[in-house]
Structure 1
């Protein structure tokens, strides 16, 4: 688009809404396909994909990376990125080093709405917050997989099993792609077994307001960049369950900076409920997660 903008005397500046870690990873692989990254923290496992849907051909990935790189190269003098140096300092610098014309990369911070600015349904909001108010501090996990990712029936049941096995309080925002009833996807008798410590909510919920609540102790997330930045800005540690696009690379970043742990799929490339439970307990309950919980608060800044 830069040639068209330039012909009209208008600067064209790219605003990159993905993080620097994932873009520098892909740009490096595009420019230096047989060379390892300087940092080994960001990587993809054999079954994982990024910047594309899971079943897309590999040549589409190369084309997508090339188009994205060309947009970065064409940005006029500067490149804006939705990130901050507290999270991605070395990757912002690495991204800069990969661009041939060495333009400035300007991080614009997390750019997330404040919880009080978030629109919500008063009835839905009050129902969730009233339920959460009676729980103990940092005792509850919030579970959400965003607006573009849908769990398979098998994944849905493994997440449900993991939440049950963890014995940790949870709020689970459920979305199904084909209007399936949640009760039909859950294991038999599940709602009765978890009714004292689990709230399953269909549709939309005020994510920022929930994450801000002092009784939330972790966020089970698909690792979409916006959700991660929101969680980090509020000091909530992350239980990473990545699926597609930039999410696997984002999950590696979460682990590298010490802001959470990842639920790693088994050799069969499937989620395992017992592993989901183990990571939830490690983040929210166990002493092993104390340093990570402290890091989450430090990333959010004073007062979190």
Structure 2
């Protein structure tokens, strides 16, 4: 900061991370979402969201779908498709046949958008399946939620390595061909939510939250 101040001849003061107050978020299904979360045990549920600018391929979505099913956890998933895409599937067609019936009460699927901060600060949330965009990382740190990292592009792989290096999350390693693997998704999810290691990660994450 001192170097930048001298270089620009202006006083530079760090102010981040800046995270929007959860009370500012509103969603038409907010009541339904929060009521569903309230019925779940503490730290038993994962929130799944890959931001507003990245859209999962069919292969990526399939791996995550299978990984979440096999992990045995509860999850709330914000599923997005490109706006105006003529080939955009219907919401229920984006998932394997019979998937929602098999999962039952373990899932809540939300299309396009959800009140992320309000969900992450809920006591039933035990992990955040994230692409590790920087905004999501800082929000997760502020609210004390460990990350199950599945980076996609740009700065996200670096952010994911940082998350794992400081022990506030676990990365689901990709296969040799660069693809997501359901076994890794299961491992990372269980490590954060279903195993003793998860408590250690959550405790470490709270060191970064106010």
TM-score w.r.t. the length of structure 1 is 0.64
1:212-240 per-position Cα deviation (integer Å, ceiling 9, x unaligned)? 10110000000000011011100000001
Q: Where do 1:281-296 residues align within 5 Å?
A: 281-296=190-205
Aligned to 2:18: 111
Q: Where do 1:1-304 residues align within 5 Å?
A: 76-77=8-9, 106-118=13-25, 120-121=26-27, 123-177=28-82, 178=85, 179-301=88-210
1:18-49 per-position Cα deviation (integer Å, ceiling 9, x unaligned)? xxxxxxxxxxxxxxxxxxxxxxxxxxxxxxxx
SS in 2 for 1:142: strand
Aligned to 1:89: none
1:123-178 per-position Cα deviation (integer Å, ceiling 9, x unaligned)? 31011011111000110000000000011000001011111010000000000123
Distance in structure 1 (CA, Å) of the matches to 2:192 and 2:12? 34
**Which structure has the larger Rg over C-alpha atoms?**
1
Q: Which blocks of at least 5 consecutive residues in structure 1 are unaligned?
A: 1-71, 79-103
Identify which range, 180-189 or 138-147, moves more after superposition. Answer: 180-189
- Aligned CA distance change for structure 1 residues 299 and 73 (closer, same or farther; 3 Å): closer
- Deviating above 4 A after TM superposition, structure 1's stretches of 4 or more consecutive aligned residues are 72-75
Distance in structure 1 (CA, Å) of the matches to 2:13 and 2:185? 37
1:101-137 per-position Cα deviation (integer Å, ceiling 9, x unaligned)? xxx764212111111122x12x310110111110001
Q: How many residues align?
A: 203
Distance in structure 1 (CA, Å) of the matches to 2:93 and 2:135? 30
Q: Tell which has more relative contact order, 1 or 2 (C-alpha 8 A, sep 6+).
A: 2
Aligned to 1:41: none
- Aligned CA distance change for structure 1 residues 245 and 134 (closer, same or farther; 3 Å): same
TM-score w.r.t. the length of structure 2 is 0.91
- Aligned CA distance change for structure 1 residues 138 and 73 (closer, same or farther; 3 Å): same
Distance in structure 2 (CA, Å) of the matches to 1:158 and 1:218? 18
Aligned to 1:69: none
Aligned-CA RMSD value: 1.8
- Aligned CA distance change for structure 1 residues 74 and 174 (closer, same or farther; 3 Å): farther
